[in-house]
Chains A and B, each alone.
Chain A
Amino acid sequence: DAKTTQPNSMESNEEEPVHLPCNHSTISGTDYIHWYRQLPSQGPEYVIHGLTSNVNNRMASLAIAEDRKSSTLILHRATLRDAAVYYCIPNQAGTALIFGKGTTLSVSS
């Protein structure tokens, strides 16, 4: 599994954009980049995933570097409900997700 590096914590204000970085320099060519988040006292939930191209969905956007050694999860307008631990997980399709320590995002009103 590719090793990932994420900031331990980040802070944001409500209604502001948030950029959560992730370095995965050992990613293999066939690894997808997944982002999950874990709200307090809940199980992790899927946020977004991509392979090479940038991706958008109703929750977030994923920007993938051209060399795929890093990616950034973008929350366009943070809300209090977005306070969670965010995990960046490169992995092969069909295998189990392996979670690192993630980034704890705090959102202030």
Chain B
Amino acid sequence: DAGVIQSPRHEVTEMGQEVTLRCKPISGHNSLFWYRQTMMRGLELLIYFNNNVPIDDSGMPEDRFSAKMPNASFSTLKIQPSEPRDSAVYFCASRPSGGSYNEQFFGPGTRLTVL
């Protein structure tokens, strides 16, 4: 299995530009999570989906951020317009259905730099 796939791995953009981060979860996993990691704030949950439906988006910073999951094998996190304070590593994770524990499988992350 290829694991959780994120693209791009690195993104450098200028303030005001639109940024789209992409995630392909592990096949068969029905939950998908987006996290953001900075030195100041650590690893923060932004939003998560169950069966392609957003369950909790309370961690989404503001209206500039939006996330979609049009099907079970693809999700996007969009920032428009981007700001320098959005610079962070963004992780996507997925989890299989069922079970009594929460083993989440994380992707390698996308390092975003907003100039």
Q: What's the nearest-Cβ distance from chain A to residue B42, in Å?
A: 6
Check if B42 sits within 8 Å of A32, measured CB to CB. no
The segment from A15-23, A63-71, A72-80, A93-101 found at the interface with B is A93-101
The interface on chain A, measured as residues whose beta carbon lies within 8 A of the other chain's beta carbons, has a size of: 22
Select A97's contact among B4, B100, B104, B108, beta carbons within 8 Å: B104
The 8 A CB mask of B21-62 against A (1 = contact, 0 = none) is: 000000000000101000000111100100000001000000
CA distance A102 to B101 in the complex (A): 20
By DSSP majority rule, is chain A's interface helix, strand, loop, or mixed?
A: loop
CA distance A40 to B41 in the complex (A): 17
Check if A43 sits within 8 Å of B93, measured CB to CB. yes
Check if B101 sits within 8 Å of A32, measured CB to CB. yes
Q: What's the nearest-Cβ distance from chain A to residue B57, in Å?
A: 11
- Range, interface on chain B: 20 to 34
Check if A99 sits within 8 Å of B101, measured CB to CB. no
CA distance A94 to B50 in the complex (A): 10
Check if B100 sits within 8 Å of A93, measured CB to CB. yes
A11 contacts partner chain B, Cβ-Cβ < 8 Å:
no
Q: What's the nearest-Cβ distance from chain A to residue B115, in Å?
A: 21
Q: Which residues of A contact B93 (CB under 8 A)?
A: 43-44
Check if B56 sits within 8 Å of A34, measured CB to CB. no
Q: What's the nearest-Cβ distance from chain B to residue A91, in Å?
A: 6
A42-B109, A96-B104 are known; give 14 further A-B pairs, CB within 8 A.
A32-B102, A34-B101, A43-B4, A43-B91, A49-B101, A49-B102, A49-B103, A87-B43, A93-B99, A95-B102, A96-B102, A99-B43, A100-B42, A101-B42
A interface residue numbers (CB < 8 A to B): 32, 34, 38, 42-46, 49, 51, 87, 91, 93-102
